[in-house]
Amino acid sequence: MLKSKTFVKKTRSGGVMKIVREHYLRDDIWCGSEICTECKQESTVLQKDSCIESDLCSSPHYLVPDTNVVLHQIDVLEDPLIRNVIILQTVLQEVRHRSAPVYKRLKDIIHEKEKHFYTFTNEHHRDTFIEREPGESANDRNDRAIRVAVKWYSHHLDTAESDGLKVVLITNDQGNKEKAEESGLLVYKCEDYIKSLLANPELVDRLALTNDETKDISSSKVLFPEHLPLSRIQMGIKGGTFLQGTFRASRDNYLEATVFVQGEGEETTEVILQGLHNLNRAIHQDVVAVQLLPREEWVAPSSVVLLDEREAKDEDDTEEEEKEKAMKIIADDAARKPTGKVVAIIKRNWRPFCGMLNSSLIKESTRHLFTPADRRVPRIRIETRQAAALLSQRIMVAIDGWPRHSRYPHGHFVRSLGAAGDKETETEVLLLEHDVPHQDFSQAVLSFLPKMPWSITPEDMAVREDLRALTVCSVDPPGCTDIDDALHCKTLENGNFEVGVHIADVSHFIRPGNALDLEAANRGTTVYLCGRRIDMVPELLSSNLCSLRSNVERLAFSSIWEMDDKANIVKTRFTKSVINSKASLTYAEAQLRIDDTNMNDDITNSLRGLNKLAKILKRRRIEKGALTLSSLEVRFHIDSETHDPIDLQTKELMETNSMVEEFMLLANISVAQKIYDEFSECALLRKHPAPPPSNYDILNKAAQSKGLAIHTDSAKALADSLDMAKVDGFPYFNTLLRILATRCMMQAVYFCSGMDSNFHHYGLASPIYTHFTSPIRRYSDIMVHRMLAVSIGADCTYPDLTDKHKQSALCNNLNYRHKMSQYAQRASVAFHTQLFFKSRGIVNEEGFILFVRKNAIIVLIPKFGLEGTVFFDNKDKTGPKLVFDEEGPSLMVEQHIFKIFDKVKVTISLDDSNVQHQKIRMSLVEPEIPGVSVPVPEVGPMAKKPKLDV
């Protein structure tokens, strides 16, 4: 049956176009139920025995949720108890248009066979399709379509075999409920139905609060200004009255945030927000509209560290006002920055947050405060009846709303993650908090893996260069199993060198557009945590078929140069190849071979040739202005039985680290130029923007404190200044300065060549750059391999490869995933550092001041690569006299002045008084300041092997 609708539309040129829309209605859309005898369906989803024990409905029943129930109660629908649910096409389409994250979660539930969720195409069924009536809103029409479908199901399944089975409409819309009851349908409000379930009374905790309910639990006093309507905001942004930007809360000060407003090109304006009223219920990463305050009310960024640790109150008490006053410092006009207030939330960035429950002081209360693990997110008020059981658990909570009358947002319990402090639980928390996809690879993804046993075929050999005879070897960190790259160097008859970088040919196994490719593109990168790796591609590829292990034949993509003895490139070529690595070495093993004069085998001679050329390449790069920066990386020695850290050391870099790095850089630059020549509009490249001059303020002040000048006009000027910066009797000064310079840098990002004109890589002083050398662990490299393969005629192109808009969207995801993986790795190091110090008691170490704050100093401990804060104010007692000079910056504590890079001695211990936010606590030992310094701890005998949380 065909329904058609005809209407006319005016074209841009003033003509009239007739449009006919056809809508097909069918009789062969089945109901999906086991008990049905009418539908000729081969397989069914809805069970015959669909009994959920409910006080409201004692009969077996199927549930039909309306759109708002799906949108707001998806956490409830995900519970294993909720089964045999009919999702109407009307609801599915509405959810898809209104919330992409909820739509994805709903699709995931539908694909879970044990949930028995059935999608019924009611909009194309002859008996359930309805047309919109004159004067009827789209929302009312959809509500009516849902009621018609429920009525059809009720009649359709009303047979002798149904054994009294009911079809229940679940809604939160009072009007929809009344109309359903008038039509004789069985209908319940979502909250009433969930409260009636006998099998899982805790499911009530997962109910999202409605707007009416959030008003009920707020105080009567208005604490925040009202958000302006969207129509006013749009006009204001267009007229320049308001600015739109991303809200970024401070980790160190809950009363301060920054809004980043995107200008033309790459220019961004930072607007400071200070005080609860000006933050106005915005949450980290929300898109907000801000209004600038008058220039005389502009402030400088605060140097105070403030954490929200007070008891929960909704009154606008004086304690908060006092803190706001304490933040403000008298600053000259140059230090003041544009300051504003949030006037509206344009787009919420709410997600389920991990954290812990703070039990209410009121006995038997069901309302409690939840403290998120991320300090940038405010505490959330939730209702739960299982507070006692959840107190020592890490849990997930979702926000439902933030009324003007409430000091905190309101939310609901989602699920428990496990005991706080447990390694598995804490790892799960940091993966969730940093949005790292870590679920097992689905069967759809695994189905695109090669069938085992796998081997290189004659067809593969026919289209590749056979390089198996070359003396190729890999050099990697210890324990590396996903070996991306291998190298070779041999002397040619003309006296020149042939140097090859051979990269795993991952793009041979991952073809564009299949499920394996889409999953790798979404993950973007492999994430390396302490003792755990979350692969971008399944292990069969990452650690086996793609990994360039020694003494096995592997497919590679090779970049081969002919060089003279001064490392000048004579010729470059790229080829798909087959290699057989002769050795898989660690950096230390390779270094031993190079240094051992008694070793003269082919592998060692190849390494020596590579090392000699790499030194020339590095010297030339630095002469051009490439930066040599510094950041301390740590390595944990893990107990083989408990998997706890038993030692902590900073990583030592050897010549071989630099050797490998130089040839990876050379390959990346060579490939970047090649793919840009071929794909000028859609090449995937990587750039490193030059930092704005203001980024160098802290570096300049640090150098000036030692009587030195740092020139930041160019990367070359900065590199030369850093090389010259030395202080007699202070050998570690230059390293500290380079660590500080690293903090001044911008983030390197992927971009599409057709969407940008500035390609320069500031840190490498290279006009063009990309990533080619790590396709096992970076999706960007897979895309670059595909472009390079097309460039040399080794593979064919496909539409998405040459679509610059899709490439740009891909780059945005890759930049996001890369940033999140870095944060996750740092969080993992921080957690294992806490485990390490948990068994050490109080440790006494020397360190250097990296930053000076208004009430604290931040100290770096080189031995452990560890940063910590020494606070000088104490909320429980009168603190010492503090005088902060922002110009220095310096902090006078009593009579002693602290400056950047001063040497201090501190005690290091684990403060586990707050189970969720355990932290490394540092206290000053030297210099000795009465009433501030602590005595040197006595070093007792080493504790027995620690029994840590496992």
* Strand-pair category, 166-171 with 61-65: parallel
**Could you read off the pLDDT of 385-442 as tens digits, one per residue?**
888 888 889 999 999 999 988 999 999 999 999 998 888 999 999 999 999 999 999 9
The letter for the amino acid at 37 is T
CA of residue 456 relative to chain centroid, distance: 37
DSSP string, 36-87: -SSS--SS--B-S-----BSS--S-EEEEE-HHHHHH-HHHHTSTT--SEEE
Q: How confident is the model at residue 325 (pLDDT cuts 50, 70, 90)?
A: low
- Cα–Cα distances in angstroms (integers) from residue 638 to residues 55, 438, 635, in the given order: 53, 23, 9
Between 342 and 530, the more confident residue is: 342
Per-range mean pLDDT, top range of 21-30, 646-655, 766-775: 766-775
Range with the lowest mean pLDDT among 314-323, 336-345, 536-545, 547-556? Answer: 314-323
DSSP string, 611-656: HHHHHHHHHHHHHHT--------EEEEEPTTT--EEEEEEPPP-HH
What pLDDT is stored for residue 945 in this prediction? 37
pTM confidence score: 0.82
What pLDDT is stored for residue 334 in this prediction? 61
The letter for the amino acid at 280 is N
* Rounded distance between C-alpha atoms, residue 281 and residue 249, angstroms: 11
pLDDT at residue 554 is higher than 90: yes
Average pLDDT over residues 700-708: 85
Residue 453: asked if its preceding bond is cis (omega within 30°), the reply is yes
**Cβ contact 800:513 at 8 Å:** yes
Average pLDDT over residues 852-880: 82
pLDDT at residue 948 is higher than 80: no
Coil vs helix vs strand at 861: strand
Per-range mean pLDDT, top range of 155-169, 368-382, 723-737: 368-382
What pLDDT is stored for residue 293 in this prediction? 92
For tokens 């933040």, the residue is 327
Q: How confident is the model at residue 868 (pLDDT cuts 50, 70, 90)?
A: confident
What pLDDT is stored for residue 161 in this prediction? 65
pLDDT at residue 216 is higher than 60: no
The tokens describing 110, both together, are 């539908």
- Cα–Cα distances in angstroms (integers) from residue 470 to residues 456, 501, 551, 579, 613, in the given order: 18, 12, 12, 8, 18
Between 643 and 423, the more confident residue is: 423
What pLDDT is stored for residue 431 in this prediction? 94
Contacts of 556 (CB under 8 A, 6+ apart): 467, 486, 502, 503, 504, 505, 548, 576, 577, 578, 579
* Rounded distance between C-alpha atoms, residue 659 and residue 655, angstroms: 6
For tokens 């057989």, the residue is 580
**Could you read off the pLDDT of 811-850 as tens digits, one per residue?**
999 999 999 999 999 889 888 888 888 877 788 889 999 8
pLDDT at residue 241 is higher than 80: yes
Coil vs helix vs strand at 205: helix
Q: How confident is the model at residue 185 (pLDDT cuts 50, 70, 90)?
A: very high
How crowded is residue 697: how many other Cβ atoms within 10 Å of its Cβ? 12
Range with the lowest mean pLDDT among 128-142, 284-298, 348-362, 577-591? Answer: 348-362
pLDDT at residue 363 is higher than 50: yes
Q: How confident is the model at residue 663 (pLDDT cuts 50, 70, 90)?
A: very high
The letter for the amino acid at 616 is I
What pLDDT is stored for residue 333 in this prediction? 61
What pLDDT is stored for residue 737 in this prediction? 87
Residues of the chain with pLDDT > 70: what percent? 89
Between 10 and 631, the more confident residue is: 10
**Could you read off the pLDDT of 85-120 as tens digits, one per residue?**
999 999 999 999 998 889 989 998 998 889 999 999
* Rounded distance between C-alpha atoms, residue 346 and residue 280, angstroms: 13
Residue 889: asked if its preceding bond is cis (omega within 30°), the reply is yes
Reference 474, options 774, 794, 771; nearest CA is 774
What pLDDT is stored for residue 875 in this prediction? 62
What pLDDT is stored for residue 576 in this prediction? 97
Average pLDDT over residues 630-642: 62
What pLDDT is stored for residue 939 in this prediction? 56
How crowded is residue 231: how many other Cβ atoms within 10 Å of its Cβ? 8
The letter for the amino acid at 589 is E
pLDDT at residue 944 is higher than 50: no
* Rounded distance between C-alpha atoms, residue 128 and residue 91, angstroms: 14
What pLDDT is stored for residue 941 in this prediction? 42
**Could you read off the pLDDT of 436-490 as tens digits, one per residue?**
999 999 999 999 999 999 999 999 999 999 999 999 999 998 888 899 999 999 9
pLDDT at residue 570 is higher than 90: yes
DSSP classification of residue 273: E
Helix (H) or strand (E) holding 461: helix 458-462
Average pLDDT over residues 622-640: 72
Q: How confident is the model at residue 24 (pLDDT cuts 50, 70, 90)?
A: confident
Residue 927: asked if its preceding bond is cis (omega within 30°), the reply is yes
Mean pLDDT estimate for the chain: 87
What pLDDT is stored for residue 640 in this prediction? 58
* Rounded distance between C-alpha atoms, residue 662 and residue 889, angstroms: 38
Q: How confident is the model at residue 64 (pLDDT cuts 50, 70, 90)?
A: very high
pLDDT at residue 800 is higher than 70: yes
* Rounded distance between C-alpha atoms, residue 130 and residue 144, angstroms: 8
The tokens describing 544, both together, are 């086996």
Secondary structure of 791-835 as H, E, C letters: HCCCCCCCHHHHCHHHHHHHHHHHHHHHHHHHHHHHHHHHHHHHH
